[in-house]
Amino acid sequence: MVDASGADIESLGDLTGCVALEKVDVSYCKQLSSLDGLSGLPNLKTVNAGGAAVESIEHLAGCVALESVYVCNCENLASLTGLSGLEKLRMVDASGAGIESLGDLTGCVALEKVDVSYCKQLSSLDGLSGLPNLRTVNAGGAAVESIEHLAGCVALESVYVCNCENLASLTGLSGLEKLRMVDASGADIESLGDLTGCVALEKVDVSYCEQLSSLDGLSGLPNLRTVDAKFSGICCMGGLSGCVSLEVVDVNNCEYLYKLCGLSESRNLRSVDANYSGICYINCLPDGDGRLSVDVSNCKSLMSLDGLSGLKTLVSVNASQSGIESIGDLTGCVALEDVNVFGCKEVSCIKGLSGLQNLETLNASHCGMTDVSALSGCVALKTLKVNSCKELSSSDGLSGLKQLEIVEASSTSITDIRVLSGCVSLREVDVSFCKGLTSLEGLSGLKHLARVRAAYSGLTDIRALSGCVALKAVYANSCKSLQTLDGLSGLKNLEEVDVSECEALETLDDLSGLQIIDSINAKKSGIKNIQGLTGRIALTALDTDECRNLNSLDGVSGLPQLKKAIFSSTGITSVTALSSCFALEVLVVSYCYRLSCLEGLTTLKKLKILRANGCMITSLHSLSQCVALEELSVCNCQHLKSLDGLSGLPRLRSVKANRSGITNVEGLAGCVALKTLDVIYCRRLESLMVLSGLPQLETILTRGTRIQSSEIPEHLKSLCKED
C-alpha cells in the first residue's frame, strides 16, 4: 500500500514494477496530472485519486485486478478511458469530476456501484447499459438528460437522480424487478409511468418535482413503503391505489393537491403528511393494522375532518392552523392519543373527543372553544393546551384526571382552577394573563407540581402553593395585586421565583427557609427590604432593578454562591454588604443616586463586570484588588475625577466613562488587556499620553473632549474615533 494523499508529487513513475502493490492513495495531490507508473500492475485493487489534478486515468488499462477507483472531484478529468473491459471492477466514484461520458465502462461486467453525482458535463449514462451486476447508480446533480441506458441493468437496486434539472423522464427503469429505491427529488420529470413493473420498489422520492402532476405509475406496487412527494406539482394521489405495503406518504406543500385519496388499501399506513397542501377534504383513509398519524396542518381549504371518523387505528391528528370548523368527526377514533387544532378559530366545541380513553395530548390553543367539559372521560390525558382561548371561562371537565401533568391556559377567561385539586400528577400549570383569576386554590398540596406560571394574572396571594413540596419555579411577575409570598416558605425544592413588577409586594421575608433557591427576579416591584434573603446560600442571581423603595442591601451579606446582582435605580447608599459575596461576577448599581462609595468591593476577586453609571461615586480605589474585572462602566458619574484604582488590573478589557467628570486616565497605566476606552464628552480630559504602553488597545472614543492631537501618542491616533 502507498498513501501519498495530499503530497506534492508530480508523477507515479517510480511505482513501475511494484507488482505486489494492491492499494494507492494519491487523493488531493494537486500537482499530479497523470497516473503513469500504475499501468499493468497485476495485483492493484484500489486507486484513490479523488481531488487530485489528474487529467487522465488511461494508465489503469491492464490493471486486471482493479476493484475500486476513486476520482471524485477531479475537475480536469474528462474521460474514464483506461477502465474499459476491467472485469473485476466493482466500484467507480467519479462524483464532481469533469467527465463527459461513461462509454469507457462498457464491459466492466462486475461493476456494482457508480457515482457520477454533480458531474456537470455528463449528459448521458451511456456505458452502463446491460451491466449485469450494477446495483447502485448515483447521478444526483449531474447534467444527465436521459437514463435510458439503465435498461437491462437487471440487478439495479438504487437510483439517485436528484437535482438533475435536465432530466424529464425515468425511461430506462421500467420493469427492473430488483429496483428498491428511486430518488428523483428536484428533477424535471413529468411522469412516473416508467416505474410500472418495478415490483420490488420500496421507496420513491419525487419531492420538489414541480412538473410532476400525478403519481400514476406507482399503482399496485406490492412492496412500496415510502413515497415522498413534498413540494411537487401533484394534484391527485390516485396513483397510490393498490399499494398495500405503503407506510409513509409525504405530500406537504403540494398546493395543487385537492384531496387525500388513493390510500384505502394501504392497511400498513403509519404516516400521512399533507401540511400546507391545498386539500379540501380527506377521503377513504384505511382503518388498517398500524398506528396512523395524519398531519393536515395549515391546510386553509380544509373545512372538515370527515374521512377520519371512526378510524380505530388513528393515533395522531395535527390540524393546526387549518380551516376546520369542528372536530366532531373524531368521534369513535378510540386509539387517538394526540390532537392538535392550534389556531383553528372556528372550533368552538370539542365534544368529538368525549370519552376517548387513550387521548394523552390536546393542543387547542387560539381556538374559539368555550368549555373543556368533554374531556371529563379522557382518563389518559397528560397535556392540555388551551392558551388564548378567550371565550374559555371554566376548567370544569378536568376534575379527577389523575394522569394530567401539564395544563396551559394562559390568556383565557377562567376565574377558578379548584377543579385541578384532584389532578394528582400535575407538574406544570400556566394561567398567565388570566386577569379574572385571583387565587391558585386547587393547587394546594399537589405533590408533583414543579412549575407554576401566573404572570399578569389577578392573583392577590399564592398561599395555595403551600404543601407543593416538589415546586421548583414560580412566575408571578406583573401580578399588580400580589401583596405577599406567604405559601412559599418552607418549599425546600424551590429554585426560581419571578415577582418582577409586583408593585404591591413589599417584602421577600416569606422566602425564608428556602435553602436551594437559585434565582430571584423582583425588579420594578414594591419591595422595601431584602432581609428575607439572609441564609439563602444557594442563591446565584438576584434582580431588584428599579425597586425605588429599596434602601439597603442588608440580607445579601455572606451569600456564598451569588454570581449576578442587579440593584440599579434603587435607593441604596452602600454596597458593603456585598463584601463577603466572594463568588460575585456581575454587579449592576447604575443610577443609584444615593450611592457615593464602592467600599466593600475590594474583596471580590471574581468580579468580572461592574456597571455603576450615573452614581455619585467619587473614587474607584475599592476596585484595586478586583483582579478578574473585565468590563467597567461609570458613565455619567459627574463626581468621579479619576480612574485611579484600576492601575494594573490584568484582565480589564473595556472601560466606559463617557460624560463622567474624569480629568485624566492615569489610573489605566498597566492595564495591558485594555481594548476599548470610551471617554465621550469627558470635557475635563486633556491627555491620553499614559495609554502609550497599552498593547491591546483597539478603540478609543473621544468625541466631545478637549484632547489636543499632541496629547495622543502617535501610534494611537488611528484608534481614536469621534463616533
pLDDT bin (cut points 50, 70, 90) of residue 365 is very high
Q: 65: left (phi > 0), else alpha (psi -120 to 50), else beta?
A: alpha
Residue 401 has, within 13 A of its CA and on its CB side, a CA count of 34
Asked if 357 contacts 378 with a C-beta cutoff of 8 angstroms, the reply is: yes
Angle at CA of residue 689, ends 685 and 695, nearest 5°: 120
Q: Give the number of other CB atoms < 10 A from CB of residue 203.
A: 16
Q: Using pLDDT thresholds of 50, 70 and 90, give the confidence band for residue 463.
A: very high
Please, what is the average pLDDT of the chain?
95
Q: What is the pLDDT of residue 340?
A: 98
Distance of CA 579 to the CA centre of its chain: 41
Q: Long-range contacts made by residues 389-392, C-beta under 8 angstroms, separation at least 24?
A: 389/364, 389/365, 391/348
Rounded to the nearest angstrom, the gap between the alpha carbon of residue 381 and the centroid of all alpha carbons in its chain is 28
- Per residue in 586-619, pLDDT (tens digit) is 999 999 999 999 999 999 999 999 999 999 999 9
Q: Between 163 and 707, where is the model more confident?
A: 163
Report which of 269, 280, 274 is spatially closest to residue 254, judged by C-alpha positions.
274
Handedness of CA 36, 38, 40, 45 (dihedral sign): negative
| pLDDT above 80 for 722 | no
Cα gap 297→309, rounded to integer Å:
17
Question: How far is 29 from 213, CA to CA, in rounded Å?
Answer: 47
Residue found by looking up cell 398495500 in the block: 244
Pairing of strands 699-701, 720-721: parallel
pLDDT (0 to 100) of residue 556: 93
* pLDDT at residue 534, as a whole number: 87
What local confidence, expressed as pLDDT, does residue 712 receive? Answer: 87
pLDDT of residue 511: 86
The pLDDT value given to residue 375 = 95
φ/ψ (deg, to 5) at 716? -105, -5
DSSP conformational letter for 52: S
Give tens-digit pLDDT for 645-667: 999 999 999 999 999 999 999 99
Neighbouring residues of 295: CB distance < 8 A, sequence distance ≥ 6:
252, 271, 272, 273, 274, 275, 318
What residues contact residue 17 under an 8 Å CB cut-off, 6+ apart? none
Residue recorded with cell 379574572: 436
Lowest-pLDDT choice from 488-497, 506-515, 695-704: 506-515
Q: Please say if the pLDDT value at position 723 is more than 80.
A: no
Nearest to 544 by CA among 573, 495, 508: 508
pLDDT over 80 at 170, yes or no: yes
- Asked if 116 and 139 touch (Cβ cutoff 8 Å), the reply is yes
Which SS3 state, helix, strand or coil, does residue 577 take?
Answer: helix
Residue type, 210: E
In the predicted model, what is the mean pLDDT of residues 477-506? Answer: 94
Quick one: average pLDDT of 260-268? Answer: 93
pLDDT at 143 over 90: yes
User: CA distances (Å), 318 to each of 2, 256, 283, 376, 649, in order?
Assistant: 57, 20, 16, 22, 59
Domains in the chain with CATH codes:
1-167 (3.80.10.10), 596-722 (3.80.10.10)
pLDDT of residue 271: 97
Positive or negative CA dihedral for 75, 78, 82, 83?
positive
Cα–Cα distance, 545 to 523 (Å, whole number): 4
Separation CA 292–CA 283 (nearest Å) = 15
Q: Indicate the SS3 state at residue 610.
A: strand
Q: What is the mean pLDDT of residues 226-246?
A: 96
Q: Are residues 516 and 539 in contact, defined by beta-carbon separation less than 8 angstroms?
A: no
pLDDT of residue 67: 96
Give every CB contact of residue 210 below 8 A, 6+ residues apart in sequence. Answer: 231, 232, 233
Calpha distance 319→185 (Å, rounded): 26
Strand pairing report for 181-183 and 631-633: unpaired
Element (H, E) at 720: strand 720-721
Structure confidence at residue 515 (pLDDT): 83
pLDDT, one tens digit per residue, over 49-80 is 999 999 999 999 989 999 999 999 999 999 99
Answer yes or no: is pLDDT of 513 > 80.
no
SS3 168: coil
